[in-house]
Structure 1
Amino acid sequence: MDNAGWRPLMPPEGGEGGGAGGAGVAIDGNDWRAQLLPESRERIVNKIMETLKRHLPVSGPEGLRELNKIAVRFEEKIYAAAVSQSDYLRKISLKMLTMETKSQSTIPSASPSNSAGNSSEDSAGKRARLHASNQDESRNSVDHISQLPDAIILHIFSFMTTKDAIKTSVLSKRWRSTWTSNQYMSFSLPRGSSRKSKGFINFVDSVLLRCTAIKAKRFLFDAPCLASVQSSLDKWLLFAIEHGIEEVSVSLHYWRHKVYMLPRILFRCTTLVSLRVSQCCFSVFGTVNWCSLKTLRIEHAELNDNGMVRVLSGSPVLEFLELKSCLGVKHIVIESKSCKELVIDSHEFGDDEGLTLKISAPHLLKLRLLGNSQGGEFRLDEVSSLIEAELNFDMEGFAADDGDLVRGLLKRLHHVPKLVMGSWCLQALSLTEAREEVLPTLECRHLILLGAAGHEGVPVIAEILESTPRLEKLFLQMTRTLNSMTVSNAESVGHRDFDGEEFWNSAKWRIYQCLMHLKHVEIVDHGSNSLAWEPVLSLLKFLLQNALWLDKIVIDSTNSKSSQAVDPWGLLDVARILLSLPKRSPSANVILRYPSQGSSSKHVRKS
């Protein structure tokens, strides 16, 4: 095949599109943020800053710093909400245009000149009137920010901490009192600031005392767990609850092992929509009435099964539940049809051996088992409605039955369309691969393997492909470096002189059904060891030559750090090797994405 057509292509104006025909750049909509470099976003923030300075003039470094914070938070909100780069730029432009239009409409029209005036007035009078005119313009400019509706000002405050919202008083005299009606309260005291606790407590007391808002929407609190802070926090939470609070986040840092016990009144707050508590005593003794709660995050807490039953039964509309580094829970039963996602992160099984966390949730849609969860095992009793599952936990080391644990989980997840597997689970399967235990047949159509690279991972990938006959999309994230443990394990089972091409050709008959449906393959490289490319390349060669309906192979290194990124010319060599091979699918494309200094990510595409 002729390689002369290779050339780096810049993303088209607006960040999307493909141009006429099929020779354009293939860019996924979900990947546009990776293509937008920080320098580009900084330039957009500067443009927003220039517009704000024209219509909201301030003086002094303090005022400029506050304007910059507004511009940054304004851009961040649109960046998070946009669905594509063109949508991002369009929303920025529309907001700026709206500001220009509103500002122009508030400028009073100039008075008509008096042509019959005294033509002999002296120059001193002209200078006096010019000076007065400049003062009027200055006053009118300052009035632009004063004329902003309260709703817009309070919306700006919602992106700031309470302390920063109060600082905006320098922008306008009117803002000096507006912050008192702010419905979004955010207080934080950094670690190691115990000497400032008295001033911090006085500050929070004074803010709440001056608060004129009838309803509070958000109360965020992050501070060391000092005795003085604990006694005041009860009072502050009561204030928030009495004002119909909707979102509460309490994060305490242990100091001399003082533990804050959440007040009972919090468990009867019917207006709560979102709750996050970290390093608090989550003891539930009475009835829980969270009839509006949709999101619940509990971190670093000791729980029990009875408390979880009370919480779940008292949260009828709960949609999202996350338990992170929690101890004491042995059985989670979610019978509500409204709960859609459960996250178990770094579960603490305790010191006793043989502990198990059982999960039963017949209506749950998404399940994620994450983090360091050594000391026990997970058991899935009833999860028949799942459409997405993630097994990305780590048991710290390997035991003989770890592979059986992973296989048992996969057996309960055989029906899940989207499956994510982390490196520990893949390695656990590789250690039991020699035992010739077959994986259950999976109905997975979208498979994501995190950290699967190196010769030792190839047989596991083949085993998983054999078990996913309907697979349509394969996502493979390469490891940054080869793990010494996995290398030694690979050598022990005879993979030292591994021939990838020979292996895949011999495995073709086993994964034939998968090759009939696979359409999309993506390799994400975060600066992996160059040795990892050899087995991955052998896989890509095999798929390109045998997958019947393969649409594209994407090699993506745009998220690599500059110090860890693979040489783009080396990636070009990988892509050229793939393009030199015959393709089973006539529509198959090879797409290379790689970072380029000083500009957006480069893309190379060739049919």
Structure 2
Amino acid sequence: MDRLSELPDSVIFHIFWLLPMWEVVRTTILSKRWLNLWTITPFLNFDETDSSFDTTEQFRNSVQRPLLRWDGVKVLKFKVDTGENKSINGDVDLWVRFAKKYEVEELYLHRVIDEIFWADDGEHNVYWVPQYLYSCSSLKVLSITNCYFRIKGNVQWNHLKSLTIVDGFGVTEHVINQILCGSPRLEVLIMSLLECGKSLVIRSASLKELLIYRYLDSYSDESYSTAELRIWTPNLERLDVKGLPYRKCLFMNVSSLIHATLGFSCLHEFDEKYCDDLSGIDGSLPTSHFLGDLFGQILPSIKHVENVTLVSCCFKVLGAMIERCVNSSSPNVKSLQLKFHFIKQRCFVGMIEIFPLLKKLVVKVRADDRGHYNRDALNVDPESYLEIEANLPKSFVLQLRSVEVTWIEGDTIFSLLEFLLKFASKLEKMVFRVKRTLPPAHPSNSLRVASQRLLRMPRSSLAAQFIFSEY
């Protein structure tokens, strides 16, 4: 029985989408019915990154030949990933024009630019988004990487719901305004920006998800400290702002926000000594106090948010943030997730005071940019907790119902957990995960030892369930 031939077209086309087109053509040997089916597939994926093409000409032919034989009615999904191929901007223009001709709904245009090549050739190498694409009203999903934006007319993306811009050049406040004005149905906007000196104003009544990641393409760029971010999005439900900090962040209308992720950090967030060497916003790097001011500026404007995630901030930044927010608690925050390289017990207790009605706490230790874990991460001193407990009011009680902790072999976090168990009288569940640092071939009893130690700890909630796992 030829089971492949019995598959419905929708399933076969989905399989085609998961493969680059040059491999899709080779699948014709699998089934008689598949022999010419690839010529009418509405999903066209020209991904060079995993291919064995030796020259640009080979890649060019791998795209042009299938397009010449294509006999479909409409293009639903079209992807071009050029890898490191250079000097094919003219060809890419033809391919994108082909997609627009057949009313493409999802377009993925990804370019790879070598930093040295960019420095030598400048704008001659970068791909400029063609003007005709701005009037492609059939688009519903658009993802663009390493391309230059310059809009000369009006944007007509009347049906666009999701836009992703990665390493986009020319993404100025004016360009963003043009895009938002011409995208009345846009719900998801994701931007990873290289040009950090640019201020942004995001004003949209349709947006539901907004993610902005901001970083430097080189440490010599000092203009980022003057940039500002202003957001007016009354229907926004999820907001992620990560990377290098803005000079000011003003969230003027985010009344529908449910999830907020904040991750402003120093360039060398994984190395504590840099926090002492920073020279302020007039220099090349921000100080921890400046970052603390920024967090203190943002948190009061998202008091109503139920789920907050803080990412990649060293403990000195957290300390400065807590100082700025000492009189600005967020009682509506029910879930808090911490993803840090460093955290100290005083910062942790201070954060609990900012979020007094917290129901769920997730603590994760993240590797630095080199993939290393700091051996002192989450390292706590039992005597410090005794000192902290002595200064707590007698009525101090944690409202936590659920705690999830990722523990790295070798680090000491049991004083922190003992503190939680002592004051979380309503705790229902504690999930304890061990992230192994030893190779799988080496036996480890860390999970058993840790679980035994936790179960022996006194706790105010006798109904708390413990779940242990290793990965």
TM-aligned CA deviation for residue 220 of structure 1? 0.8
Render the CA deviation track for 1:515-546: whole Å, top value 9, x for unaligned. 1x211111013xx352x32xx21122122232
Q: Distance in 2 between matches of 1:560 and 1:230?
A: 46
Does the residue aligned with 1:521 lie in a helix, a strand or coil? strand
> What amino acid is aligned across from residue 235 of structure 2 in structure 1?
H
Whether 1:477 aligns to 2:354 is: no
Aligned to 1:59: none
Whether 1:592 aligns to 2:468 is: yes
TM-aligned CA deviation for residue 224 of structure 1? 4.7
Tell me: CA distance 1:502–1:482, structure 2 relative to 1, closer, same or farther (3 Å): farther
The structure 2 residue matched to 1:466, chosen from 350, 353, 371, is: 353
Q: Distance in 1 between matches of 2:440 and 2:264?
A: 25
The structure 1 residue matched to 2:227, chosen from 355, 361, 375, is: 355
Q: Distance in 1 between matches of 2:324 and 2:102?
A: 62
CA contact under 8 A between 2:293 and 2:320: conserved in structure 1? Answer: no
| TM-score with structure 2 setting the length | 0.83
Question: Structure 2: which 5+ runs fail to align?
Answer: 119-124, 269-274, 276-286
Does the residue aligned with 1:254 lie in a helix, a strand or coil? coil
CA contact under 8 A between 1:191 and 1:223: conserved in structure 2? Answer: no
| Correspondence 1:440-451 to 2 at 5 A | 440-442=328-330, 443-451=332-340
Aligned to 1:573: 449
| Correspondence 1:62-73 to 2 at 5 A | none
Aligned to 1:320: 188
Q: Distance in 2 between matches of 1:243 and 1:177?
A: 19
Render the CA deviation track for 1:279-329: whole Å, top value 9, x for unaligned. 111112211111111110011122111111110111111111011024264
CA contact under 8 A between 1:466 and 1:511: conserved in structure 2? Answer: no
The structure 2 residue matched to 1:367, chosen from 239, 243, 248, is: 239
> What amino acid is aligned across from residue 303 of structure 2 in structure 1?
H
Tell me: CA distance 1:565–1:547, structure 2 relative to 1, closer, same or farther (3 Å): farther
Aligned to 1:200: 59
Does the residue aligned with 2:262 lie in a helix, a strand or coil? strand
Aligned to 1:401: 290
Aligned to 2:280: none
The structure 2 residue matched to 1:502, chosen from 386, 408, 411, is: 386
> What amino acid is aligned across from residue 193 of structure 2 in structure 1?
S
The structure with more strand, counted as a fraction of residues? 2
Q: Distance in 1 between matches of 2:395 and 2:310?
A: 19
Which 4+ runs in 1 deviate beyond 4 A?
A: 191-195, 224-228, 347-350, 374-377, 479-487, 559-562, 564-568
Tell me: CA distance 1:224–1:544, structure 2 relative to 1, closer, same or farther (3 Å): closer
Aligned to 1:286: 153
Aligned to 1:270: 137
> What amino acid is aligned across from residue 518 of structure 1 in structure 2?
L
Tell me: CA distance 1:452–1:541, structure 2 relative to 1, closer, same or farther (3 Å): farther
> What amino acid is aligned across from residue 441 of structure 1 in structure 2?
S
Q: Distance in 2 between matches of 1:198 and 1:436?
A: 59
Aligned to 1:28: none
Does the residue aligned with 2:239 lie in a helix, a strand or coil? strand
TM-aligned CA deviation for residue 565 of structure 1? 11
Whether 1:522 aligns to 2:404 is: yes
Tell me: CA distance 1:569–1:501, structure 2 relative to 1, closer, same or farther (3 Å): farther
Q: Distance in 2 between matches of 1:561 and 1:458?
A: 24
> What amino acid is aligned across from residue 358 of structure 2 in structure 1?
L
Does the residue aligned with 1:288 lie in a helix, a strand or coil? coil
Q: Distance in 1 between matches of 2:176 and 2:344?
A: 39
> What amino acid is aligned across from residue 177 of structure 2 in structure 1?
V
The structure 2 residue matched to 1:413, chosen from 298, 302, 322, is: 302
Tell me: CA distance 1:357–1:239, structure 2 relative to 1, closer, same or farther (3 Å): same
Does the residue aligned with 1:216 lie in a helix, a strand or coil? coil
TM-aligned CA deviation for residue 235 of structure 1? 1.1
Tell me: CA distance 1:152–1:591, structure 2 relative to 1, closer, same or farther (3 Å): closer
Query: Which of the two has higher C-alpha Rg?
Result: 1
Does the residue aligned with 1:237 lie in a helix, a strand or coil? helix
TM-aligned CA deviation for residue 194 of structure 1? 8.6
The higher relative CO (CA closer than 8 Å, separation ≥ 6) is in 1
Does the residue aligned with 2:55 lie in a helix, a strand or coil? helix
CA contact under 8 A between 1:320 and 1:341: conserved in structure 2? Answer: yes
| Correspondence 1:6-405 to 2 at 5 A | 141=1, 143-190=2-49, 196-224=55-83, 228-254=87-113, 256-257=117-118, 258-301=125-168, 302-327=170-195, 329-336=198-205, 338-347=206-215, 351-352=222-223, 353-371=225-243, 373=244, 376-397=247-268, 398=275, 399=287, 400-405=289-294
Q: Distance in 2 between matches of 1:225 and 1:479?
A: 31
Q: Distance in 1 between matches of 2:443 and 2:241?
A: 35
> What amino acid is aligned across from residue 368 of structure 1 in structure 2?
D
Q: Distance in 1 between matches of 2:311 and 2:215?
A: 16
The structure with more helix, counted as a fraction of residues? 1
> What amino acid is aligned across from residue 540 of structure 1 in structure 2?
L
TM-aligned CA deviation for residue 335 of structure 1? 2.6
> What amino acid is aligned across from residue 549 of structure 1 in structure 2?
K
| TM-score with structure 1 setting the length | 0.65
Tell me: CA distance 1:321–1:436, structure 2 relative to 1, closer, same or farther (3 Å): closer
TM-aligned CA deviation for residue 216 of structure 1? 0.5
Tell me: CA distance 1:572–1:151, structure 2 relative to 1, closer, same or farther (3 Å): closer
Q: Distance in 1 between matches of 2:51 and 2:246?
A: 33
Tell me: CA distance 1:452–1:194, structure 2 relative to 1, closer, same or farther (3 Å): closer
Q: Distance in 2 between matches of 1:441 and 1:409?
A: 12
Tell me: CA distance 1:186–1:510, structure 2 relative to 1, closer, same or farther (3 Å): farther
Q: Distance in 1 between matches of 2:241 and 2:181?
A: 23
CA contact under 8 A between 2:259 and 2:308: conserved in structure 1? Answer: yes
Q: Distance in 2 between matches of 1:593 and 1:241?
A: 50
Length, aligned pairs only: 434
Does the residue aligned with 1:524 lie in a helix, a strand or coil? strand
Query: Among the aligned pairs, what percent are the same residue?
Result: 27
